[in-house]
Amino acid sequence: MARKITKSSSGLVRHKQILDGMNQTEKELFALTYDAACRSGKSFAASQGFWQSCIKHNANIDWLRQLAEPTPLNHAAHFVVKRIHNDIHSGNDGSLTALQTVLENAQHFNIGETRLLIKILELVAQTLRPTQYKIGIEIQALNRTIAHQYLPSAQNRLQESITPQQQIQESVMPTQKVQSNSPKQFVHVEQVDLTQYYQRDDEYGQKIETRWQTLWHASHRGPQLASKLENQDATFAQSDNNGTMVFALADGVSTSMGARLASAISAREFCDNLASQLFQKKSSDAKDILLNGTAQAQHQLEKVLNLFMASPESNDFAIVRGQVQPMVAVRLLENTLNPTQKNWGAALSTTLIGGFIQPSSKKNIFDVHLAFIGDGVVEFYDVQKQTVERLLNIDANTTEISNAVCPGPLGRKSVEQSLFLQPFEMKRGDWLLISSDGLARGHEKYLFKVIDDSGFTTSQKHDEKFAWELLENTAKSADAQNVKSLFNDNLSLILLNIK
Partner 1 sequence: MGFLTHKRATSHTPQVIALIIDDSGSMRENDKATQATASVQDLLIQLQASTQGASGWRFLLNIAKFGDNITEIAVASPPLEIDFNSIAFAATGGATEMPKALQWAAWAIEQSLHKCRQLPGYDETNAPNPLCVFFSDGKNTSRDSVPNSAMALRSIPFTGGNVDVVACGIGMNPNDFPIMQQIASRPELAANIDPYRLGDFIAEVGATVQYDRNAVDLLRNTEQYYYD
As measured in angstroms, the least distance from the Cβ of 4 to partner 1 is: 20
Using alpha carbons, select from 166, 221, 213, 156 the residue that is nearest to residue 190: 156
As measured in angstroms, the least distance from the Cβ of 317 to partner 1 is: 14
Task: Show contacts with partner 1 in window 97-136 (CB under 8 A).
Answer: 130-134
- Based on the shown chain and the rule CB under 8 A, indicate whether residue 481 belongs to the binding site for partner 1: no
- Based on the shown chain and the rule CB under 8 A, indicate whether residue 328 belongs to the binding site for partner 1: yes
Do 264 and 304 touch, CB atoms closer than 8 A? no
Element (H, E) at 352: strand 352-359
Q: d(Cα 323, Cα 331) in Å, to the nearest integer?
A: 15
- Based on the shown chain and the rule CB under 8 A, indicate whether residue 57 belongs to the binding site for partner 1: no
Radius of gyration of the chain (CA): 27
- Based on the shown chain and the rule CB under 8 A, indicate whether residue 255 belongs to the binding site for partner 1: yes
Q: In this chain, which of 13, 18, 229, 419 binds partner 1, going by CB under 8 A?
A: 229
Closer CB to partner 1, 154 or 225, in the complex? 225
What type of residue is 325? Q
Please report which residue ranges of 22-133 form alpha helices under DSSP H: 24-39, 48-56, 61-68, 79-88, 94-105, 114-128
For residue 348, the SS3 value is: coil
Q: d(Cα 80, Cα 77) in Å, to the nearest integer?
A: 8
As measured in angstroms, the least distance from the Cβ of 496 to partner 1 is: 28
Q: d(Cα 106, Cα 74) in Å, to the nearest integer?
A: 26
Instruction: Tell me the β-bridge partners of 218.
Output: 493
- Based on the shown chain and the rule CB under 8 A, indicate whether residue 228 belongs to the binding site for partner 1: yes
Instruction: Tell me the β-bridge partners of 368.
Output: 357, 424
- Based on the shown chain and the rule CB under 8 A, indicate whether residue 483 belongs to the binding site for partner 1: no
- Based on the shown chain and the rule CB under 8 A, indicate whether residue 438 belongs to the binding site for partner 1: no
As measured in angstroms, the least distance from the Cβ of 144 to partner 1 is: 14
- Based on the shown chain and the rule CB under 8 A, indicate whether residue 325 belongs to the binding site for partner 1: yes
Using alpha carbons, select from 301, 239, 291 the residue that is nearest to residue 266: 301
The Cβ of residue 183 has, within 10 Å, a number of other Cβ atoms equal to 18
Q: Which residues of 351-361 are buried (b: 16+ CB within 10 A; e: fewer)?
A: bbbbbbbbbbe
Contact segment (CB under 8 A) with partner 1 among 181-189, 250-258, 305-313, 362-370 equals 250-258
- Based on the shown chain and the rule CB under 8 A, indicate whether residue 441 belongs to the binding site for partner 1: no
* Site map (CB under 8 A) of partner 1, residues 182-221, x = contact: ----------------------------------------
Number of residues that bind partner 1 (CB under 8 A): 35
Do 221 and 202 touch, CB atoms closer than 8 A? no
As measured in angstroms, the least distance from the Cβ of 199 to partner 1 is: 21
- Based on the shown chain and the rule CB under 8 A, indicate whether residue 167 belongs to the binding site for partner 1: no
Closer CB to partner 1, 347 or 368, in the complex? 347
- Based on the shown chain and the rule CB under 8 A, indicate whether residue 344 belongs to the binding site for partner 1: yes
- Based on the shown chain and the rule CB under 8 A, indicate whether residue 319 belongs to the binding site for partner 1: no
**Residue 482 zone, left/alpha/beta (φ > 0; ψ -120 to 50; rest):** left
- Based on the shown chain and the rule CB under 8 A, indicate whether residue 402 belongs to the binding site for partner 1: no
As measured in angstroms, the least distance from the Cβ of 259 to partner 1 is: 6
Contact segment (CB under 8 A) with partner 1 among 157-165, 338-346, 384-392, 427-435 equals 338-346
Residues at the contact surface with partner 1, assessed by CB under 8 A: 130-134, 137, 225, 227-230, 232, 252, 254-257, 259-260, 322-325, 327-328, 331-332, 341, 343-345, 347, 399-400, 484
